[in-house]
Amino acid sequence: MKNKAVPRKGPFILLTIFTMLLLAGIAFEEPARVLELAKAICLSCIGIG
């Protein structure tokens, strides 16, 4: 008899957790803050800001 492949649950649980954290970060407008800080750092690096 062939052994039935049991699907691993760990990767699906981790993927679900990481997706929830990603959506929470987007909901709290984290991407906008990150881009704002990146723009400020880049301007200070080239001597404008």
Q: Retrieve residue 24's tokens.
A: 């929470």
Comparing 17 with 29, the larger pLDDT belongs to 17
40 close to 49: Cβ distance less than 8 angstroms: yes
> Residue 5 phi/psi, 5° resolution?
-75, 125
Q: How far is Cα 39 from Cα 48, in angstroms, rounded to an integer?
A: 11
Comparing 6 with 26, the larger pLDDT belongs to 26
pLDDT of residue 49 exceeding 70, the answer is no
Confidence of residue 37 (pLDDT cuts 50, 70, 90): confident
Count, in order, helices (H) and strands (E) of the chain: 2, 0
Q: How far is Cα 47 from Cα 42, in angstroms, rounded to an integer?
A: 9
Mean pLDDT of 9-18: 96
Q: What is the pLDDT of residue 9?
A: 94
